[in-house]
């Protein structure tokens, strides 16, 4: 893992985190407990702060960034950021799944128990209400999130990534 200080800010993280050897975490970044940052993922807190809660997984190739002095990035607890997703200058509440290859742009708010479908582009300033699924380009509401998907996808993936990270942690 590359952990780099930029502009006098060094990333910090909580207990039981896993960082793949090729993960890059830079600058004003704070991660909570039981987070995982996977291969070739980048969290770049060089231009604004990035705050990440507990049990968040940032999967392979994902990029988390912000906009200089305007839009920080805040990610709640039990959030999964899918492979090759881009999360930029936005707020993601607890219990959210950002699908593979999705893009969430500046000043978006993604409320709890929501899913952003794989490949979706959530354009600047979009507000995704709690308990909804958004998809498409540009992303629009597809439907409400059924409780089976909240438990079967959002919670399951967050829990599984804590387990997966443990496989990579020396005993």
pLDDT the model gives residue 139: 98
pTM reported for the whole predicted model: 0.97
Q: Which parts of the chain have pLDDT scores under 70?
A: none
The tens digit of pLDDT for each residue in 118-141 reads 999 999 999 999 999 999 999 999
Retrieve residue 168's tokens: 């990579």
What pLDDT shows up at residue 170? Answer: 83
* Domains of the chain, CATH where assigned: 2-167 (2.160.10.10)
pLDDT at 136: 98
Of 84, 120, 94, the closest CA to residue 105 belongs to 120
- What local confidence, expressed as pLDDT, does residue 169 receive? 86
């Amino acid at each position: 893992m590359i952990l780099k200080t930029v502009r006098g800010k060094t990333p910090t993280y909580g207990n039981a985190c896993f960082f793949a050897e090729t993960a890059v975490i830079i600058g004003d970044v704070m991660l909570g407990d039981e987070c995982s940052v996977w291969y070739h993922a980048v969290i770049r807190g060089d231009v604004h702060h990035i705050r990440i809660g507990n049990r968040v997984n940032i999967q392979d190739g994902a990029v988390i960034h912000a906009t200089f002095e305007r839009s920080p990035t805040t990610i709640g607890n039990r959030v999964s950021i899918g492979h090759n997703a881009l999360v930029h200058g936005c707020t993601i509440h607890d219990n959210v799944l950002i699908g593979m290859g999705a893009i969430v742009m500046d000043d978006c708010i993604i409320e709890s128990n929501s899913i952003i479908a794989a490949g979706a582009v959530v354009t600047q300033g979009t507000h995704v209400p709690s308990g909804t699924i958004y998809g498409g380009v540009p992303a629009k509401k597809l439907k409400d999130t059924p409780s089976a998907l909240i438990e079967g996808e959002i919670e399951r993936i967050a829990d599984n990534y804590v387990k997966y990270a443990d496989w990579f942690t020396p005993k």
